[in-house]
Each structure stands twice: as C-alpha cells, then as structure tokens.
Amino acid sequence: MYQLSFSLQEFLSEYWQKKPVIIKGGFENFQDPVTPEELAGLTLESDVDSRFVSNLNNEWKAEHGPLSEELFDTLGETNWSIIVQAANHWHEGAAELFKPFKQMPNWLFDDIMISYSVPDGGVGPHIDQYDVFIIQGQGKRHWRVGDIGEYEEEHRHGALKQITGFDPIIDQILEPGDILYIPPGFPHDGYALEPSMSYSAGFRSPKEQELVSNFADFIIENEKSDVHYHNPDLQAQTHGAEITTQSFEDLKAMMLNAMSDEQSLKQFMGEYLSNSRHHLNILPDSEKWTTEELLGYLQSGQALIKVAGVRAFYHETEACEDNMTLYVDGESYVFPLAVKNDVIALCETSEFTLLDIENLLQDPHSVSNLLQFVNIGYWFVESEEDEE
C-alpha cells in the first residue's frame, strides 16, 4: 500500500500549478510495483502505448511500440529508455500508484507512465502540458528543471519534442521514494545515473478550446440547439452590409443560450471527462450474462472487479432531485438518488461484492445498468482474471 509522507492539501496550496518541487522521501520505503522485465514485456504488446528512445553519442533515436524482442537483443548498457503510457491500465501494481492521489479530483487524472532507463538514458530537455508527479523507483536519476517561459524547440528527432536547453532552478538527484512535481510549462530533463525506474502520475487539465469544440460535437450528436435564427420583426437597413448591434446581440444570445443549458452541460462534462484517453484492457467477446446470472454470481459472495483505468464519475449536484447520473467511460447511466452510496462505491472501489451494493440490487433499473457494465466488460468476474 502506497502512502504519501506529506499532506496533499498543503502540497496543493503551496505548489500545485505554481512551482516545481522535489519532495525527498515522498514515499517511505518505496517498493517498485513493476520490474524492468515486466515493463519490457508490456512494450511488446500491440494494445499498449509505448516508446523506445536512445541517445548514444548524442544521436537521438525514437521508436513507437510495439517494440520487438530483436530490438532488446541489440541494446547496450547505456543511453536508452523504454516508456509505457497508461501502465496502470495493464498492470495491477502500476494501478496501485494512483491510490495515494485519489483525494485529487479523479477527472483530472490521466495515467501512470512508467519509464526504465539505463545510465545516461533519458528523453532530453522538453516541456509537458501536464502536471506530473515523477516518483523515483529503483536506481538514481539526475533531474534538472527550469523556470516557466519561452524556449526554442530543437528537432533532433521527429518523434521527440525537445527544446534547446534551459537554466535549472532545480538540479538534484532523485533516489527511491523521492517525488519530483512539475507543473505544465516548466522545462525538464532527467538522466539515469543507474538502471532506473520512474513512475509519472500525470494530471491533465482540459483546454478551454477543447471543451468548447467537444461541447459543439455533443450538441450536434444529441440534436440539441437545432434551431435557426428567427426574427419576424426584421427591419429594412440603410446599409445592408451592416451587421447591426441588435443582430449581433441576438446571435450572441443564441450561442450563449446553447452554452448555458445546465442539464446539457452537466451531461456533456460527465460524458467527456469520463472518456478514457487510453485503451482499456477489456476482454473482447466475453459471454453476455442475464440478470439472473449476474444476481446468482453476486449472491454466491464473489466479487466483480473493475477494469483498471475505467473512469466513473458523478456530479455533486443534479438538476433532477430523484435521480443521479453515473458517467462511465463516456456514457450516462441514470440511478435513483436513493442508491447514491452504492454508486459511489462503484466509483471508488476497485472491486465490489453484494454487501457493497445491497440497496442498488433492490432496484431493477439499477440492476440493468449493472448488467450493462458487466456485459460491456467494465467489471469482470474473479475467475476470468485467474485464467489470464
């Protein structure tokens, strides 16, 4: 079980989206959840998003996964790294690393990226648009972080978004259990001093333009705001070319009206934020269950296990008083408000049994939602996992 050695709230007040910091011993007695061999195994899988980067003699090479066994046979002892994105979707131990951060708004969380670097391996100086906690696992890594600002891009390799360089405001060696927090926009560069594992818990704040454009897609898909400008009091104008102030105000009001429909916005945000940006490890064509099979399974006392990385959120408040909506992986599911605690249990636990959702099971509509979750594959049965 991973536990932060500091107060998350104090950290947020002092550093979050303000300045980078190294927290020495951010995790006490840190144990690597993943071995370098396991990480290398993940880079061979086609569903897993991975990269290989090398920089021998300052000659940069980068390759997207799936990597090949042959590549590993050719590697020397220095100057390369392998990186796996969303490792928490594919490795149970990696998923454990999000747990100490679960008091953060979960909708901001993106993924746990893991890198393994041999001495002098790294990805070079670059800037990310993510807030990241880089947790040092085995080995030591030398990190430098510069101040926020404008930096020149350098194209040493098409797949690497490097910058030319920066003056460090942090220049330190990370040891197992240390955490380096970097807000978006601060340049950084880390080189392994020894074979080294880094675990990056990434948080991604949505962009205003992305929300607006995705909301536009949402209203089209849901056939909302499907109305034309309507003005039966149209007046003749001296200058026909003029967009009158009144016309402008009318059109602006139409747009703001579309953007201010509380219920649409809530549905949009729930669906949008719960969408996973990375592949989920869902087993294809597993057999579909009936309600009776689902209830029978739960009544036998067995647990249903959530697929790692499935995003399930709800709004603090809802327009309708009797219902609540649970957003799972981009879709809405309505539940009676009376089963709210059980719905929260679905969101917050990585597995549940009958005892966790007794109220929910009394409501046939909720049971049919649950059946959908199981049949889509968001929750799976214990034995399937054992078979893998």
Residue 115 interacts, among Co ion, ligand SIN, none and using kind-specific CB cut-offs from 5 to 8 Å, with ligand SIN
Give the C-alpha separation, 22 to 9, whole Å.
16
- Cβ atoms of 141 and 173 closer than 8 Å: yes
Part in contact with ligand SIN (CB under 6 A); list of ranges 58-66, 120-128, 273-281, 354-362: 120-128
Residue 198 interacts, among Co ion, ligand SIN, none and using kind-specific CB cut-offs from 5 to 8 Å, with ligand SIN
Q: How far is the CB of 134 from ligand SIN (least distance, A)?
A: 6
Q: Is 188 in the site for ligand SIN (CB under 6 A)?
A: yes
Q: How many residues in the shown chain lie near ligand SIN by CB under 6 A?
A: 11
Give the C-alpha separation, 291 to 287, whole Å.
13
Q: Is 62 in the site for ligand SIN (CB under 6 A)?
A: no
β-partners of residue 23 are: 179
Site string for ligand SIN, 286-325 (x = CB under 6 A): ----------------------------------------
Strand order in the sheet with 21-23: 21-23, 179-182, 131-136, 196-203, 109-117, 80-84, 50-54, 61-64
Q: How many residues in the shown chain lie near Co ion by CB under 5 A?
A: 1
| Residues 6+ positions from 198 with CB-CB distance below 8 Å | 114, 115, 117, 134, 135, 136, 137, 141, 190
Task: State which residue has the least CB distance to ligand SIN.
Answer: 115
Closest to Co ion by CB, 179 vs 303, is 179
Q: Is 130 in the site for Co ion (CB under 5 A)?
A: no
- Cβ atoms of 326 and 314 closer than 8 Å: yes
Q: Is 85 in the site for ligand SIN (CB under 6 A)?
A: no
Q: How far is the CB of 35 from Co ion (least distance, A)?
A: 23
One residue of 50, 55, 200, 366 binding ligand SIN per CB under 6 A: 200
β-partners of residue 112 are: 201
Query: Which one-letter amino acid corresponds to residue 307?
Result: V
Q: Is 128 in the site for Co ion (CB under 5 A)?
A: yes
HEC per residue, 333-363: EEEEHHHHHHHHHHHHCCEECHHHHCCHHHC
User: What residues make contact with ligand SIN under the rule CB under 6 A?
Assistant: 81, 83, 115, 122-123, 128, 132, 188, 190, 198, 200
User: What residues make contact with Co ion under the rule CB under 5 A?
Assistant: 128
